[in-house]
Amino acid sequence: MSFTIGIDLGTSTTEAAIYRGGKKELIPNPDGAVITPSAVGLDESGNWVVGERARAQALLLPENTALEIKRKTGTDETVRLGKAQYSPVELQSRLLSYVRAYVSEYLGESVERAVISVPAYFNEQQRRETILAGERAGFTVERILNEPTAAALSYGLEHMEEESHVLVYDLGGGTFDVTLLEMFEGVLEVKASGGDNALGGKDFDEALIEHLVSSFQKKTGKNLRKDRRAMARIKDEAERCKIALSEYDSHRVLIPAICVLNGSPAELDETVTREQFEVLTHALLERTHEPIDTVLSDAGIFEDALDLVILVGGSTRMPMVARDILDYLGKEPVHAVHPDYAVGGGTDLNRCEPLHARDPYQRRRERRLHERCDPAQRHDPRHAHRTILHLL
């Protein structure tokens, strides 16, 4: 059996899924995890490392490790690893090659076809570079699917009313994406999309990092900002702190031997409360409001016309996100099955098999998905078509 895999190529993490036996299935990587860090690097011997190994080495070899590559997609920026410069396409292709290798090993056959999700507001250049990265990894990229549509598929169209307006709020590791979907007569259509490709969980991390560094400098007089290894350790602990504060009211950040002061190792020791964190990041959360307003305006509807608000992306685990949406839109949001897996789990549900391959009874149980293509997609036959999907 030849599989088409769905790939959520995220800023912070990447997931891969297949659809078989009537169920979606997330594929574990060689570490046994279904979430792979979107990290690529070169080890001390000059060999490529990808995923968890690359993320782990960022603490010791930050100059040889690339993180958050997705944010550079579609730009002229390059990433320096060691003595060489690499384009975002090349680094993304390394990550996708790794995904292809472990999925093929898991399935026991070479996987050559993929559907890759991207933010709905990605422009033509960004979409083309994503396709190119996939092709360099050995994939035939059958479709570029908007992330909010993939999330809606993962949530399950059968959970939506026949006529409804669905707002997908996707706050990921590096990007914010908001999309208004309309379900009408069994067709799910993207009515409007917007977002901020410079807003995501990493920005919340950065606010916390700045707080920790400033507090340490105030206590000791030492500025750690130019110490790459110290900053890499602080970055790692700041992310742990943010995650902990989604569950607990406070978290202690303790980093031993962060630097040398007066000839002796000094530690960074700071307790951060959830209230402090929310104050530090309040302005970031407020930045989500304008894209929401723009999308609602473009779609020509008011907040009270929303039937469902779906939360997608690991950063929506922060309790303040759901509270903010409730306050701002007056609508209680729901999490899409699993915020980290929602997009990856929905990409491969977007099947492209022709109707004539199905029996008449099966056809009656199907609905159509129509993604209204943005200008970047209209002349690409991989996008400008209706897709038939079989609901779980």
| Tokens at 373, concatenated | 């293509």
- Reply yes or no on whether the pLDDT at 357 is more than 70: no
Residue 371 annotated among the catalytic residues of the structure: no
Distance CA 117, CA 346 (A): 9
Q: Which residue has the higher pLDDT, 181 or 300?
A: 300
Q: Which of 15, 24, 70, 239 is catalytic?
A: 70
Q: What is the mean pLDDT of the chain?
A: 84
pLDDT reported for residue 372: 44
Domain ranges of the chain: 4-198+338-390, 201-282
The predicted-structure confidence for 57-86, as pLDDT tens digits, reads as follows 988 898 999 999 998 999 999 999 988 999
Residue 177 annotated among the catalytic residues of the structure: no
Residue 147 annotated among the catalytic residues of the structure: yes
- Reply yes or no on whether the pLDDT at 369 is more than 50: no
Pairing, β 308-312 against β 334-335? parallel
Distance CA 159, CA 338 (A): 15
Q: How far are the Cα atoms of 51, 52, 201, 375 from residue 37, in angstroms, in the given order?
A: 5, 6, 14, 31
Q: How far are the Cα atoms of 139, 145, 366 from residue 217, in angstroms, in the given order?
A: 49, 46, 61
Superfamily grouping for domain 201-282: ATPase, substrate binding domain, subdomain 4 (3.90.640.10)
Strand locations in the chain (E): 4-9, 13-20, 23-26, 36-37, 40-42, 48-50, 65-66, 79-81, 84-86, 113-118, 140-146, 164-171, 176-184, 187-196, 250-261, 264-273, 308-312, 334-335, 366-369, 387-390
- Reply yes or no on whether the pLDDT at 328 is more than 70: yes
Asked if 24 contacts 154 with a C-beta cutoff of 8 angstroms, the reply is yes
pLDDT reported for residue 187: 73
The predicted-structure confidence for 25-49, as pLDDT tens digits, reads as follows 899 999 999 999 999 999 999 999 9
Q: Count the neighbouring beta carbons within 10 Å of the beta carbon of residue 304.
A: 8
Q: Count the neighbouring beta carbons within 10 Å of the beta carbon of residue 191.
A: 17
Q: Which residue has the higher pLDDT, 390 or 107?
A: 107
Q: Which of 24, 72, 129, 147 is catalytic?
A: 147
Residue 68 annotated among the catalytic residues of the structure: no
pTM above 0.95, yes or no: no
Distance CA 123, CA 188 (A): 22
Superfamily grouping for domain 4-198+338-390: ATPase, nucleotide binding domain (3.30.420.40)
- SS3 call for 10: coil
Distance CA 178, CA 193 (A): 6
The pLDDT-based confidence of 366 (bands split at 50, 70, 90) is very low
